[in-house]
Copies of this chain bind each other. A is one copy, B any other.
Amino acid sequence: MSFNTFGKFFRFTTWGESHGPAIGCVVDGCPPNVALKQEDIQKELNKRKPGQSKFTTQRKEDDKVEILSGVFEGKTTGTPISLIIYNKDMRSRDYETIKNKFRPGHADFTYFKKYGIRDYRGGGRQSARETASRVAAGAIAKKVLEKKIGKKYKVVGAVTQLGILGCDVTRWNDKEIGKNPFFCPDKKIIKLWEKYLLAIRKSGSSCGAIIEVRARGVPVGLGAPIYAKLDMDLASAMMSINAVKGVNIGSGMNSAQLTGEENSDEIISKGKNIKFKSNKAGGILGGISSGQEIIVSFAVKPTSSILSSRKTIDKFGKNTSISVKGRHDPCVGIRAVPIGEAMMHCVLLDHYLMNKAQCGN
């Protein structure tokens, strides 16, 4: 069982509610003797932090992380690493008016029906605030993999579609991603996205997004068939992110439309190197990494917290309507980029370690 724990070998357990005193996680299974400082984690958290542009929620959080255990004299010891982030800019009063109503498209309804109780303030445990813990855990996984695999190991995520506007992924440029507020890899579309999202924000509406995460330098052989396949675990990891509704590996859903000739990536050998002529597989064959770039994309639905009035019921079963005011995020998908990267790091480290044990070498 692992309700609030992610991973099999490199595991993190998250805890905390949006408006509780703090959130945090315990990272277990981290190998010893890896250099780790607070800043390594803080750097990644800063990419996810709310309130960084007009396109994301205006909640202001420092998201300052503290390491409470598992690191001694600047190195991991192999014991659990406990991380804590105190909550600051909470306005629980904002939620008083909706505390008895279920927001359509939200987990309000299902949490209440399941547990018979929920912390409604800011979404409580449902809140995407929980993902800060994942980013922190991912920062640790990244450090470990950079040590074990070396600098060729790199994970990079980007938004490739914003609402109805896709970018051109053949123009993907890593360096562009950090320079715009959308984590967009295609310089040419940024202006258009800006106008589009401003319009959505003004209207009090919201839109979805597609995020693509690529991992380079991943060794061949990670993934354990049949039921710990690398693509299973990646699909599961991405689907666990709030508001995600679909996951693709490589050509993904589009692969249905391809022929066998188009879809299967031919293999050629050049001296000692093995090359693939294409990467429809997204770097995974039979659930095992092939050594190619691993490519995962996922769709984030539009946030359900919108200005227009929507029909719903309250917790007593009565019909009513709801309209969400206060701080507003027109496209929650944007902030999912560092989360997707973090989940990629965690899944890969998990499988990296597992692979050691599987082959017993």
Please tell me if the beta carbons of A319 and B268 are within 8 angstroms of each other in the complex. Answer: yes
- Name the interface size band of chain A: 35 or more
Q: How far is the CB of A335 from chain B (nearest CB, A)?
A: 15
Q: How far is the CB of A30 from chain B (nearest CB, A)?
A: 9
Contact of A163 among B117, B246, B256 (CB under 8 A): B256
Chain B residue numbers with a CB within 8 Å of A267 are 102, 104, 109, 311-313
Please tell me if the beta carbons of A256 and B161 are within 8 angstroms of each other in the complex. Answer: yes
Chain B residue numbers with a CB within 8 Å of A233 are 236
Is A48 among interface residues, defined by CB-CB distance under 8 A?
no
Is A361 among interface residues, defined by CB-CB distance under 8 A?
yes
Please tell me if the beta carbons of A164 and B257 are within 8 angstroms of each other in the complex. Answer: yes
Please tell me if the beta carbons of A4 and B259 are within 8 angstroms of each other in the complex. Answer: no
Chain B residue numbers with a CB within 8 Å of A136 are none
User: Known: A205-B261, A301-B255. Contact between A285 and B29, CB under 8 A?
Assistant: no
Q: How far is the CB of A147 from chain B (nearest CB, A)?
A: 9
21 A–B contacts from the bound complex (CB under 8 Å): A5-B28, A6-B227, A15-B80, A16-B68, A16-B69, A24-B68, A33-B115, A84-B84, A105-B265, A107-B285, A114-B288, A125-B226, A200-B259, A207-B256, A207-B259, A239-B249, A245-B251, A245-B255, A246-B253, A251-B301, A274-B313
Given contacts A26-B26, A110-B290, A245-B253, 10 further A-B pairs with CB under 8 A are: A1-B9, A1-B228, A4-B79, A17-B70, A32-B115, A110-B286, A232-B240, A236-B239, A245-B250, A245-B281
Q: How far is the CB of A4 from chain B (nearest CB, A)?
A: 5
Is A152 among interface residues, defined by CB-CB distance under 8 A?
no
Please tell me if the beta carbons of B252 and A245 are within 8 angstroms of each other in the complex. Answer: yes
Chain B residue numbers with a CB within 8 Å of A183 are none
A30 to B332, CA, bound (A): 30
Is A305 among interface residues, defined by CB-CB distance under 8 A?
yes
Contact of A221 among B84, B110, B210, B242 (CB under 8 A): B110
Is A95 among interface residues, defined by CB-CB distance under 8 A?
no
Q: How far is the CB of A215 from chain B (nearest CB, A)?
A: 16
User: Known: A269-B318, A306-B261. Contact between A299 and B72, CB under 8 A?
Assistant: no
Please tell me if the beta carbons of B13 and A26 are within 8 angstroms of each other in the complex. Answer: yes
CB-CB nearest in chain B for A288: B110
A360 to B235, CA, bound (A): 24
Q: How far is the CB of A64 from chain B (nearest CB, A)?
A: 15
Please tell me if the beta carbons of A3 and B224 are within 8 angstroms of each other in the complex. Answer: yes
Interface string of A131-172 (1 = CB under 8 A from B): 000000000000010001000000000000101100000000
Chain B residue numbers with a CB within 8 Å of A284 are 110
Q: Interface segment, A38-46, A50-58, A173-181, A350-358?
A: A350-358
Contact of A360 among B125, B148, B238, B246 (CB under 8 A): B148
Contact of A106 among B23, B258, B285, B291 (CB under 8 A): B285
CB-CB nearest in chain B for A78: B115
